[in-house]
Amino acid sequence: MSNLQLKNATLITPAVFEPGGKQSTPRRPAWRPWLWLVAALLVILFAVAGFLLSATSLDIQVSPASSQIRLAGPYHVQVAGRRLLMPGQYSLHISQPGYSPYERQLDTATDDHFRLNIQLSPLPGRLKATSNVTAQAYLDDLPLGDTDGILTNLPLGKQQIRFEAPRYQSHTEIIEIKGYDELQHLDINLLPNWGTLVLDSYPSGASLSIDEQAFSQTPLNIELLAGTHKLQLSYPGYQNWQQRVEINAGENLTISQARLLPASARLKLTSQPNGASVSVDGLYQGKTPLELSLSAGTNHELLLLREGYQPTRRDIQASAGSVQALNLPLAPLLGKVSVSTQHQDALLYINDILLGRANQTLELATHPQTLRVSLSGYADFIQTLTPKAGQTIKVQANLKTLEQARFEALPAQLTLLGDARLKLFHPQVSFEMGASRREQGRRANETLHKVALARPFYLGMTEVTNRQYRQFASFHSSSHAEGASLDGDNQPVVNIGWLDAARFCNWLSSQEGLQPFYLIEENQYQGFNASANGYRLPSEAEWAWASRYQSKRMQQFNWGQQLPPPAGSVNLAGLESVALVGDILAGYQDSFKVSAPVASFQADQKGLYDLMGNVSEWVHDVYQIHSGLNFKANTDPLGAQQGIHHVIRGASWAHGRLTEVRLSYRDYGNDARRDVGFRLARYAESLPPITKESP
């Protein structure tokens, strides 16, 4: 529009309006007070709201309720029983007479609300005890202080307070302590704990010691604490006088004349030999060497007695205070001992003193004598005896070889695993194993051959039972035969292979601290150590000797010479087993379908059970057939170190044929069978290791 040009236009200007009448003047705004009041109220409300929003609430509940509460800090107000705190740190102090004050620091920065339930603890009590002497006070053996001061920190309630003072009797008071810092008063009176001793002596002027502490000389009058005291008076030339006395508190004890005896004489007495019993005037004093105290100026009779010697008497008189030494020789009583032996070169020792050849008669003192007869290559014969006066004792010294002596020193029986027993044997015989070709039922593997047994050995009296074997293999089960159990605790363990039996033997050896017999590495059999004395299976020769050798002959059966055996004498396949096995022993019955508990049948003449019957038995030897061409006896044979099979000996509950029930019957295998178990054996002594000489 500013670019529009108007021709012949007139400019119009605005006119000022003026009302009619007077000329008007400018007006001021009207005053409104209520606006200022509203503004002020708003400011206050905002301030209060800001305070309420920023304040921390403090709610304090105090017991006792009359306690004084002081809160120091930036700013706080109390509203409806609560305190509102401005931000900051505050110190809270609560107190009440008779109570321990409570103090705490509060910081509103860590919490926006505090609720405190405070129970003030009553202060302990105080006690002022007044006593006739200054005494130490104790509460349950804890010192409280003495009666010169105030006893503090006494717990509320009934208390037992003990007061003690030197030379006074202990005094105990039971008092109810009120507490709350209240001071209580107590009057006590301690009684004296001493009495008076009045003492005189003869001679007067003797030095007195009481309880090893020196005092003055008699006569005297002294105070002593109540109780037992040891009094001792001494005076030169006299024996000490001693007496224990009982002193009672508050009482007098008078000993008007303690008489000291003149000093005794000392006698140092010995004898040859020493060890004699000594009596003085009929009273026993001890054994020589001995120091005696004798009253002076009188005669005394000494009597010395020793076994094997004549009584010795001596009269003696000693002066007061003297010291004498006396040695009395003892005359021996003699008896005769006649010694004889089958060996003329044997030597005789008495108490380790060589007296010459053994065959002689001696006179010896009648006290215990140790007699020894020795000869090279033989064990010493030792006997302790006491010769008798006027009599002759005859001694027959039968010397034994070293081997005999060692064997006799061995225990005749071993017990292990609770009830397993092994018996000691030392056959020292040669015999023939196998069976004659003419023997009915003989098998080809029973070739006759000679063996000898020299080493002493132990052999199990029974077969190893399930209970015993389960101490080694706890989860083993011997199972059953067509429902008839083979697993009873006292039945022989079966269903184990030869290696299982060997491992059991090695385990038992380790339990007994013996050298293992079998060499087994990672459950693989490597051989055996013939020198070891650990547990093992019986050798076939040992088993054959134990079961067959009787009266220098080899038996065919262990019950006699004929079939069938006597009823109930052995566990074989009889009529009761007809449903379990193919062949039974005709006309025989033993009441057990399968294995019987060990030792159910009578033991044989060697005291062994079930070598024939019950279960067949693993033996040590590797199975082989002997040629019978070697006419020299093989001593203590153990067979080859390794082989395919091992020997099984003896019939079992499953055998009923003639061939099987003979004692010479041999079987073989390695694997477990339900009718094959084992018994233990071990050598009685280890053999020294064999050393090879250097080339």
Secondary structure string (H, E, C) spanning 446-472: CCCEEEEECCCEEEECCCCEHHHHCCC
Percentage of the chain lying above the pLDDT 90 cut: 44
- The percent helix, strand, coil of the chain (3-state, each to 5) is 10, 40, 50
Q: So what's the pLDDT on residue 147?
A: 81
Number of domains in the chain: 6
The answer to whether residues 238 and 111 belong to one domain is: no
The CA distance from 463 to 494, in Å, is: 10
CB 587 within 8 Å of CB 480: no
DSSP string, 414-431: EEETTTEEEEEE---EEE
State yes or no: pLDDT of 555 exceeds 60.
yes
Domain that holds residue 357: 334-405
Q: Which of 383, 405, 427 is the last residue of a domain?
A: 405
Local confidence band at 609 (pLDDT 50, 70, 90 cut-offs): very high
Does the residue 694 lie in any domain? no
Does the residue 18 lie in any domain? no
CATH number at 108 reads 2.60.40
Does the residue 475 lie in any domain? yes
Q: Which residue has the tokens 């051959």?
A: 449
State yes or no: pLDDT of 349 exceeds 50.
yes
The token duo for 256 is 């008007």
Does the residue 25 lie in any domain? no
Q: Which of 384, 405, 426 is the last residue of a domain?
A: 405
State yes or no: pLDDT of 4 exceeds 70.
no
The answer to whether residues 376 and 450 belong to one domain is: no
CATH number at 392 reads 2.60.40.1120
The answer to whether residues 454 and 574 belong to one domain is: yes
Q: So what's the pLDDT on residue 54?
A: 61
Q: So what's the pLDDT on residue 7?
A: 42
Q: Which of 329, 347, 375 is the last residue of a domain?
A: 329
The answer to whether residues 522 and 387 belong to one domain is: no
To the question of pTM greater than 0.75 for the whole model, the response is: no
Q: So what's the pLDDT on residue 390?
A: 84
The answer to whether residues 531 and 382 belong to one domain is: no
The CA distance from 22 to 24, in Å, is: 6
Does the residue 4 lie in any domain? no
Q: What is the per-residue pLDDT across 392-447, written as a single tens digit (0 to 9) for each?
A: 999 998 988 888 888 888 899 999 999 999 999 999 999 999 999 999 999 999 99
Q: What is the per-residue pLDDT across 31-70, written as a single tens digit (0 to 9) for each?
A: 678 778 887 788 777 766 666 666 677 778 888 878 888 8
Does the residue 19 lie in any domain? no
Does the residue 688 lie in any domain? no
The CA distance from 546 to 543, in Å, is: 5
State yes or no: pLDDT of 113 exceeds 70.
no
The answer to whether residues 316 and 444 belong to one domain is: no
The answer to whether residues 163 and 275 belong to one domain is: no
The answer to whether residues 488 and 609 belong to one domain is: yes
Classify 625 in phi/psi space as left (phi over 0), alpha (psi -120 to 50) or beta: beta
Does the residue 235 lie in any domain? yes
Give the mean model confidence (pLDDT) for residues 512-537: 95
Q: So what's the pLDDT on residue 52?
A: 61
The answer to whether residues 442 and 560 belong to one domain is: yes
The answer to whether residues 171 and 280 belong to one domain is: no
First vs last C-alpha separation in the chain: 148
The answer to whether residues 251 and 378 belong to one domain is: no
Percentage of the chain lying above the pLDDT 70 cut: 92
The answer to whether residues 151 and 171 belong to one domain is: yes
